[in-house]
Amino acid sequence: MLTALDDAAVGQWCRAAVEALSGARSRLDELNVFPVPDGDTGTNLLHTAEGALAALDSAGGREATWPVLARGAVLAARGNSGTILAQLLRGLADQLTAQPPAEGPAFAAALQKAADGAYAAVADPEEGTFLTVARAAGEAAVAAVDDGAGELAAVVRAAADGARVALDRTPGQLAALREAGVVDAGGAGLCLVLDALVRTVTGVEPVRPALALPEHHHRHEHAPHQPPPGPGSEVQYLLADADEAAVERLQQRLAALGDSLVVVGVDTPTGREWNVHVHVSDVGAAIEAGIEAGRPHRISVTPLAPVWHPEAVPGRRAVVAVVHSDGLAALFAAEGARVVVCGEGGVTEDDIHAEILASGGEEVVVLPNDAGLLPVASRAATRARETGREVGVVPTRSPVQGLAAVAVADAERRFGDDVIAMAEAAAATRWAEVTVADQEALTSAGRCHPGDVLGSAEGDVVVIGPDVAAVACDLLDRLLSAGGEMATLVVGEDEELGATVCAHLSSAHPTVEVVRYGGGPSSLPLQIGVE
């Protein structure tokens, strides 16, 4: 029986919570009907808790436990309930980090304040949700202390019991839960986390009735759930390089664009970061708002409900772009395109096909932005045409060609004419890249060795050298020797390289218009387009 929640106990609680959420993930997913029936609450809560645990394991006891746990949870938080769980943990960390190991009264006060902070983090809080259950847990813990129960074990039992009572009442507070005959999925997940705390402190698992699903609630066996009226996509990203004033403006703008807005901040070794979650119809506007506030990264865009056989919306036109970094995802999303981000495992035909269907477009333009993905995109387009959609693949071989194509897109044109105009804009853009060789090879410019900088144009290596900036400038000079009015630069992680190249263009090619973007993939120091 623990008398105080010290660093070791916090770590044990986190591990126990991950185990509990892992075991209940599918059932929590099945319970998920609010705010949208997208079947991922258990998955999102587990992902958030796993992020906290991974941070603790990585720190290895070299830092105070509470701040590390909070940082891991906030940076890993996914979905509405996951982000609120991260805020709750961050609130506990704020209250308990500077204190000695928390005994009963300290933990009760911290839990109540953390629940208040979770309410404040949600733009439009609803009763009958995770928030209601969290507040009930805090109030029950404080009431137990007021009644003379000072031991930690009694306080955490009271919190867990209070949460479960509140959970059982949630169907009476939300019509969506009442109609489905279920309790709130996020609140149910929080009850599991608090029961894991009871087990950590007392060594005894609380005995609870199973989270039963009514017989008629078989969400994957009948007609698929469709998104409810209102915002159609979940947008989530981490935001860096933003001050409090910028985040406040961001919250106001996102609140006007959609709902289910949750913004949670946490201190990291490189500065304060924010986890931003919102449900919107205009994905591009939500990401653009983040760009104006700071530097969004790890951007994800997810349809709000599983759509197994979605119908195309008559007259709707969409653009689907494949990209290789979060920065490029933000650029294309800001232009109104839907994005498929290529991860470590690459992008599959199924990924592109699913995004074409999820767009809801009757007419869809696909920008593969990679020569190797052209056949993959074409196969996905062929499959999508079988659903009655008109799909055109513009053969963009680089993101700079994709940006040129999306810049001339015009939904008022006839679809075929629009695809032709986008293809012509892409073809008129000569593309080039600066890379670093990872192995010895024979190229069209001679033999290269690992570490050499390569400048390639239209896929052929034309410059080899030891210095990235020098190769980049030489490559641009060669491209512009054939003429060009505008140069588009997509810079990777080295912002100084972008500044050097822009200065060279200003000096050597003063009549050329230059457009510079950041956020390129780390594997490509510079991508170039010349029109």
pLDDT tens digit sequence for 506-526: 999 999 999 999 888 888 899
Q: How confident is the model at residue 504 (pLDDT cuts 50, 70, 90)?
A: very high
CA dihedral over 168, 171, 176, 182, signed as positive or negative: positive
Please compute the mean of the pLDDT values over residues 211-239 and round it to a whole number. Answer: 55
Please list, in sequence order, all residues whose beta carbon lies within 8 angstroms of the beta carbon of residue 117, skipping any fewer than 6 positions away: 87, 88, 90, 91, 94
Tell me what pLDDT residue 215 has. 44
Homologous superfamily of 313-428: Phosphotransferase system, mannose-type IIA component (3.40.50.510)
Q: Per residue in 79-119, pLDDT tens?
A: 889 999 999 999 999 999 888 888 889 999 999 999 999 99
Contact 376, 352 (CB under 8 A): yes
What token pair was written down for 239?
A: 């935001």
Weakest mean pLDDT among 27-36, 56-65, 467-476, 510-519: 27-36
Residues 145 and 152: their CA atoms lie apart, in Å, by 10
Average pLDDT over residues 262-269: 91
Query: pLDDT category, 220, cuts 50, 70, 90?
Result: very low
Higher pLDDT, 34 or 252: 252
Task: Give residue-wise pLDDT tens across range 352-395.
Answer: 988 999 888 999 999 999 988 999 999 999 988 888 899 999 99
Q: Which two tokens stand for residue 487?
A: 């140069």
pLDDT tens track for 390-441 = 999 999 999 999 999 999 999 999 999 999 999 999 999 999 999 999 999 9
Neighbours of 306 (CB within 10 A): 17
If we measure between CA atoms, which residue out of 288, 198, 201, 302 comes closest to residue 249?
288
What was the pLDDT predicted at 432?
Answer: 94
Burial of 64 (0-12, 13-18, 19+ CB in 10 A): middle
Give 294-332 pLDDT, tens digit per residue.
999 988 887 665 444 457 788 889 999 999 888 899 889
pLDDT at 244: 93
The answer to whether residue 122 scores a pLDDT higher than 50 is yes
**C-alpha to C-alpha distance for 151 and 132, rounded to whole angstroms:** 25
- Say which CATH topology domain 430-530 has: Hypothetical Protein Tm841; Chain: A;domain 3 (3.30.1180)
Of the candidates 387, 343, 337, 331, the one whose C-alpha atom is nearest the C-alpha of residue 366 is: 337
Q: Is 182 a residue whose pLDDT tops 90?
A: no
Averaged pLDDT for residues 281-301: 87
**pLDDT the model gives residue 344:** 64
Planar angle of CA 485, 435, 403, nearest 5 degrees:
40
For residue 472, the model assigns a pLDDT of 95
Is the pLDDT assigned to residue 462 strictly greater than 80? yes
pLDDT of 32 higher than 80 = no
**Does the 233-303 domain belong in CATH 3.30.70?**
yes
* Mean pLDDT computed over 492-507: 92
User: Above 50 in pLDDT, residue 230?
Assistant: no
With 90 as the cut, is the pLDDT of residue 240 above it? yes
Over pLDDT 90: what percentage of the chain? 59
Residue scoring higher pLDDT (82 or 181): 82
The domains of the chain are located at: 7-202, 233-303, 313-428, 430-530
| Residue 275, token pair as written in the block | 């986890």
Q: What mean pLDDT comes out for the span 216-223? A: 39
Q: Which of 112 and 32 is assigned the larger pLDDT?
A: 112
**DSSP conformation class of 122:** B
The better pLDDT of the pair 220, 338 is held by 338
Instruction: Quote the pLDDT of residue 211.
Output: 72
Q: Specify the higher pLDDT residue, 308 or 174.
A: 174
| pTM of the predicted structure, to 2 decimals | 0.59
Contacts 24+ apart (CB under 8 A), 447-451: none
The rounded distance, in Å, linking the Cα atoms of 321 and 390 is 16
Res 33: pLDDT: 72
Coil vs helix vs strand at 140? helix
Statement: 7-202 belongs to CATH 1.10.530.10 = no
Is the predicted pLDDT of residue 213 greater than 80, yes or no?
no
Q: Which letter, b or e, does each residue of 277-299 get, where b requires 16 or more Cβ atoms within 10 Å of its Cβ?
A: bbbbebbbbbbbbbbebbbbbeb
What's residue 233's pLDDT? 80
Per-residue confidence band for 231, with pLDDT thresholds at 50, 70 and 90: very low
Distance separating alpha carbons of residues 323 and 471, to the nearest angstrom? 24
